[in-house]
Chain A
Amino acid sequence: MSELRQRIKTTIESEPVVAFVKGTHQQAYCGNSQRAMHALRSVGASFTAVDVLPDPAIRLELSALTSWPTIPQVFVGGELIGGADIVQEMAASGELEAKLDEKLGDRWRSPGAEKTVSVVAVV
């Protein structure tokens, strides 16, 4: 496994809620990334964003890991729960909160606690 893929995997496994997006939690550069983050916010979930734009390899390695070809990708407790469409559907139906509760207990309820982390090695 490449170093980059390992860092992606570690991020997915260690962050309670992580969204791989085009942009950051403050500024999305794609409507779908914006929709996914909006859905997480709408249920009051804190999340960690990872920007895939700095290096095309991030997206390639992520997709190889998940068998999911598009961005965004949202993970809860290490599990891929979907892209923008699924996360939006789940937020609207109440399934998203149920999934967060099931996977994380109370750990996800800190509205506004958002950050963006990098998976690209610091050189």
Chain B
Amino acid sequence: MVGTMSGRLEHLLRDAFPDASELSVVDRTGGGDHFHVTVVSRRFDGLSRVDQHRLVYEALASPLGDGSIHELRITTRGAA
């Protein structure tokens, strides 16, 4: 089911960024494998964008590794 995959990603991101002031998962095509995730969190404060995205990749390592995400767009911001 399409909704299940978005829900799985959101759950993983909430676990990794419990303080997030903004967190969204958009299924870009409705096909359940092209996503745009946005996270605003204090965890990103002081980190380069590359390291911010690495934290997102880390949180989503499982769906990235098993091929269930075909394309992932990421937007991150620190909370400071």
Contact status of A67 and B54, CB under 8 A, knowing A32-B71, A85-B75? yes
A67 to chain B, nearest CB (A): 6
- Cβ B72 vs Cβ A70 within 8 A: yes
A70, B75: Cβ atoms closer than 8 Å: no
28 examples of A-B residue contacts, CB within 8 angstroms: A30-B71, A31-B71, A32-B71, A32-B73, A67-B54, A68-B50, A68-B54, A68-B57, A69-B57, A69-B61, A69-B64, A69-B65, A70-B57, A70-B64, A70-B72, A80-B50, A82-B49, A82-B50, A83-B53, A84-B73, A85-B53, A85-B73, A85-B74, A85-B75, A86-B49, A86-B50, A86-B53, A89-B49
B residues sitting closer than 8 Å to A (CB atoms) are: 49-50, 53-54, 57, 61, 64-65, 71-75
10 new A-B contacts at CB < 8 Å, known A30-B71, A67-B54, A82-B49: A31-B71, A68-B53, A68-B57, A69-B64, A70-B64, A82-B53, A85-B53, A85-B73, A85-B75, A89-B49
- Expressed in whole angstroms, the Cα–Cα distance for A85 and B73 within the complex equals 6
Q: How many residues does chain A have at the interface if contact means C-beta atoms less than 8 Å apart?
A: 16
- Using CB atoms and an 8 Å cutoff, list the residues of chain A in contact with chain B: 30-32, 67-70, 80-86, 89-90
